[in-house]
């Protein structure tokens, strides 16, 4: 089942098209990645799916779950953003109220969805464990956790509220490489074990190749190539995709033992 479905999306500022995507679907249990460089329109496309593009004309059809994003009421949109779909950005710490413990943040969010008391505590701890964090973290304030922990906490918050769709905009690019690997492991796990639909925007092709099922390559607002990740990376058809792949710095292969 497609949890995100985009058709004939065109985002314009004045006469200029900043993103044009004919077709983009993300099914439950699937990770689709949009890759491209600055100005490619990848983040605009991602934000469009939550109705978060402002100051531009957005045309086409966008569905998240059962909701038609472009015609939905503001209240209905807030509801999807709050519980159905979660947005994960590069620097999550800025989105967390610095005066509240993470547990309080989580409890308040759950209370708004009618989950309270022992059930809320249980749900919070379960969500935090699902992103490979120790529930002890709920007692801390945002400045007392690392960037990678904050990133995973934001994902846990979405899980606790029952999100089925995860939209991630460069979720690892501000993180150290070992921490990056953990966030990727968490995303893979949620996709495989909980059937989340993950739409990932990244400029890191190597990272994308290790998690995405399908890939959309964008340049200057347009899709230049899309298809199963394994095909696109092994046999890129578009010259720009080939250029992007060639630009990734390679590591020498590890020697096994000896």
Partner 1 sequence: MTLLAAEGVTLAYGTTAVVHDVSLTVDEGGVGLIGESGSGKTTLARALLGLLRPRSGVVRYGSRDLAGLGRAGRAEFRRAVQPVFQDGSEALDPRMTAGASIAEALTTHHRVPRDERRDRVAALLAGVGLDPALAGRRPHEMSGGQRQRVAIARALAVEPRLLVLDEPTSALDVTVQARILELLEGLAADRGLGYLLITHNLGVVGRLCRTSSVLFAGRVVESGPTADLLTRPAHPYTRALRDAVPRLGGEPPRTAGRTEAAPAPTGCPFRLRCPWAADRCRDEAPELRELAGRKVACHRAEEVLTTPASSVARVPRDGGEAPDAPRQ
Residue numbers at the binding site for partner 1 (CB under 8 A): 37-38, 129, 132-134, 146, 148-149, 176-182, 184-185, 188, 203-207, 209-211, 230, 233-234, 243-258
| Cβ atoms of 124 and 106 closer than 8 Å | yes
Please state the closest distance from residue 237 (CB atom) to partner 1, in A. Answer: 16
Q: In what order do the strands lie in the sheet with 85-88?
A: 67-68, 57-64, 2-13, 16-27, 222-228, 214-219, 31-35, 197-202, 165-169, 85-88
Q: Judged by CB, which is closer to partner 1: 2, or 90?
A: 90
Please state the closest distance from residue 137 (CB atom) to partner 1, in A. Answer: 9
Distance, CA of 245 to CA of 41 (rounded, Å): 19
| Cβ atoms of 163 and 84 closer than 8 Å | yes
Q: Judged by CB, which is closer to partner 1: 106, or 229?
A: 229
Q: Judged by CB, which is closer to partner 1: 114, or 257?
A: 257
Q: Judged by CB, which is closer to partner 1: 50, or 127?
A: 127
Please state the closest distance from residue 130 (CB atom) to partner 1, in A. Answer: 8
Please state the closest distance from residue 180 (CB atom) to partner 1, in A. Answer: 7
Distance, CA of 23 to CA of 45 (rounded, Å): 11
């Amino acid at each position: 089942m497609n949890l995100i479905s985009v058709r004939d999306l065109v985002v314009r500022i004045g006469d200029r098209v900043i993103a044009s995507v004919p077709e983009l679907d993300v099914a439950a249990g699937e990770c689709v990645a949009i890759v491209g460089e600055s100005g490619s329109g990848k983040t605009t496309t991602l934000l469009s799916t939550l109705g978060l593009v402002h100051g531009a004309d957005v045309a086409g059809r966008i569905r998240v779950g059962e909701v038609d994003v472009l015609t939905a009421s503001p209240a209905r949109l807030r509801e999807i953003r709050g519980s159905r779909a979660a947005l994960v950005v590069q620097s999550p710490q800025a989105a967390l109220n610095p005066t509240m413990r993470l547990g309080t943040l989580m409890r308040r969010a759950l209370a708004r969805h009618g989950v309270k008391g022992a059930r809320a505590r249980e749900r919070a701890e379960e969500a935090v464990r699902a992103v490979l964090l120790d529930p002890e973290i709920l007692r801390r304030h945002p400045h007392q956790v690392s960037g990678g922990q904050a990133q995973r906490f934001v994902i846990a918050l979405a899980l606790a509220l029952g999100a089925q769709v995860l939209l991630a905009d460069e979720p690892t690019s501000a993180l150290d490489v070992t921490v990056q690997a953990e966030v990727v492991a968490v995303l893979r796990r949620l996709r495989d074990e909980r059937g989340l639909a993950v739409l990932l925007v990244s400029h890191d092709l190597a990272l994308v190749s290790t998690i995405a099922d399908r890939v959309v390559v964008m340049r200057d607002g347009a899709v230049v190539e899309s298809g199963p990740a394994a095909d696109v990376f092994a046999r890129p058809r578009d010259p720009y995709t080939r250029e992007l792949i060639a630009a990734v710095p390679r590591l020498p292969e590890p020697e096994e033992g000896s």
